Structure 1
Amino acid sequence: MVQYLAQNALTPTIAYTVSVIGSLLGLSFAARARLTVSGARWVWLSLAALSLGGTAVWSMHFIAMMGYSVPDVIIRYDPLLTVGSGALAVAVMAVALALTATRPTNARLVVGGLISGIGIVSMHYMGMASMNFVGTMRHDHGHVIAATAIALVAATAALWFASRLRGSPVIVGASLVMAAAVTAMHYTAMAGGDI
């Protein structure tokens, strides 16, 4: 996997930047949802789920995968699994945000963190399963466990940020931290993969 990072040093930077943008939008929309009542709250939460799940997590993953190649191996992606992994990321963020934004208790935060963290890891490995190539990819169990732990912590932190933080400077800082965690989860998982 060292080869994965070295092949295109710009790809991790672009992937992280996209994750920051998705996090910034998602956390801003979630903050707006907290200030809103009635049906408008659900519109803001939907936009937050789309930004966090679709951009901060899923788009970051596939941009990072653009930097992945194996000598003499052609990699294509299964469209159904690829789109399904994106839908999964958005859906788990929607459920987690609905849990934590409507009544932000510690118990809901933990449950939401578990749902979104497991969903994010599942999205990653579903995205990996969408790769079509001649060969087999194996995943080191230690890296899977580490990536899962990072995803659980990152998802719970993101929900804590989304349900409690206010103010643009704080949301910007939280976006940088969240994107770092999402990116770290991806590259930790990839470091344990071998074709």
Structure 2
Amino acid sequence: MVDLLAAAGADTFANGTGIAWLAVDLSAVGALVSFACVRHAKYSQRFRLVWLTMAAVSLGGVGLWLANSVALLALRVHDSTLRYNVALGASALAIAVVGVLAGFLISGRTLQVPRLIIGGLTMGLSVGLSTFLTLDAISVQGTMEESLGLIGAAVLLSMAGCTATLWAAQVVRRIALRVVVSVLFAVGVAGVYYTALTALSFSIDPAIKTPTGVPLFDLVFPMFVIGALGLTVPITAVLVAPDRRDAVLAARQPVPAR
């Protein structure tokens, strides 16, 4: 199974599977926080965009981009030093957050199938593009080629997963079910990432000088710390904010006649 997830000329789990599990856990936590923010956004008028922005950062920034970047720490390309293009990585982060935010805005407050599908396709394309930019940011001593068929499969998987995620954000209310959906989202993110990774093949020439860029760990470690600390903002907001759904329902109750 591990061999099926490997890019040609690379070892996907060179540093053990623990890093992969850490990425999945990070993705699930980001999704769980995001779903809580979406719930508050559903019943908030004044701060709806703020809630959705926090949801997009949690889901796209932490649950997707940071999780994929952490998973990359386990990758080793045979006979080559890896370097990372920070500009491409930053672009992948921005696309992930903006694409997720667009998906939330398009899908709206209530479940409407046409808007759900358009939002899911928009978010899915952004997630797929972000994943491939994250991988394209890798520089090696040689060349890297991509399989168009597997790229297409990863994008289709991303679209399906994002549409299901938006549907769950609309209809799932119980906390236990949100946890289950968050885990499923993390599995989906991992599926898109490893499908995209298998689309890569490396041709290495050790005689080529070390490529420009930064070691991946030098970028991912501080971003991991920032992302973990950043999640405390939406978590704190969710904990201290009133239950907007109950407040809205209470406001709709008729006032008893005296």
Q: Which residue does 2:197 correspond to in 1? A: 190
The partner residue of 1:161 within 164, 168, 184 is 168
TM-score between the two structures when normalised by the length of structure 1: 0.94
Instruction: State the secondary structure of the residue aligned to 2:47.
Output: helix
- Contact between 1:26 and 1:47, CA under 8 Å: does it hold in 2? yes
- Contact between 2:108 and 2:115, CA under 8 Å: does it hold in 1? no
Q: Which residue does 1:51 correspond to in 2? A: 58
Following superposition, the deviation at residue 71 of structure 1 comes to: 2.3
Following superposition, the deviation at residue 181 of structure 1 comes to: 0.6
The 5 Å alignment of 1:119-158 reads 119-158=126-165
Report the residue type matching 2:197 in the other structure.
M
The partner residue of 2:69 within 52, 59, 62 is 62
Q: Which residue does 1:12 correspond to in 2? A: 20
Q: Which residue does 1:108 correspond to in 2? A: 115
Q: Report which stretch shifted further, 119-128 or 97-106.
A: 97-106
Distance in 1 of aligned mates of 2:14 and 2:167: 34
- Contact between 1:31 and 1:165, CA under 8 Å: does it hold in 2? no
Distance in 2 of aligned mates of 1:43 and 1:163: 18
Q: Report which stretch shifted further, 173-182 or 123-132.
A: 123-132
Following superposition, the deviation at residue 165 of structure 1 comes to: 1.4
Q: Report Cα offsets for 1:24-55 as digits up to 9, x if no partner.
A: 1111111121122x221111111111111001
Following superposition, the deviation at residue 191 of structure 1 comes to: 1.6
Following superposition, the deviation at residue 186 of structure 1 comes to: 0.4
Report the residue type matching 1:106 in the other structure.
V
Q: Which residue does 2:179 correspond to in 1? A: 172
Following superposition, the deviation at residue 7 of structure 1 comes to: 4.2
- Contact between 1:120 and 1:151, CA under 8 Å: does it hold in 2? yes
1:31 equivalent to 2:39? Answer: yes
Following superposition, the deviation at residue 78 of structure 1 comes to: 1.2
Number of equivalent positions: 194
Q: Report Cα offsets for 1:51-108 as digits up to 9, x if no partner.
A: 1100111011100111111122111111111111101000000111011133531111
TM-score between the two structures when normalised by the length of structure 2: 0.72
Distance in 2 of aligned mates of 1:98 and 1:164: 16
Report the residue type matching 1:21 in the other structure.
V
Report the residue type matching 1:11 in the other structure.
I
Q: Report Cα offsets for 1:134-166 as digits up to 9, x if no partner.
A: 211112223212211210111101111112211
Q: Which residue does 2:81 correspond to in 1? A: 74
What do you get for the CA RMSD once the two structures are aligned?
1.4
Distance in 1 of aligned mates of 2:72 and 2:166: 26
Q: Which runs of 5+ in 1 are unaligned?
A: none
Q: Which runs of 5+ in 2 are unaligned?
A: 1-5, 203-258
Distance in 2 of aligned mates of 1:129 and 1:6: 19
Structure with greater Cα Rg: 2
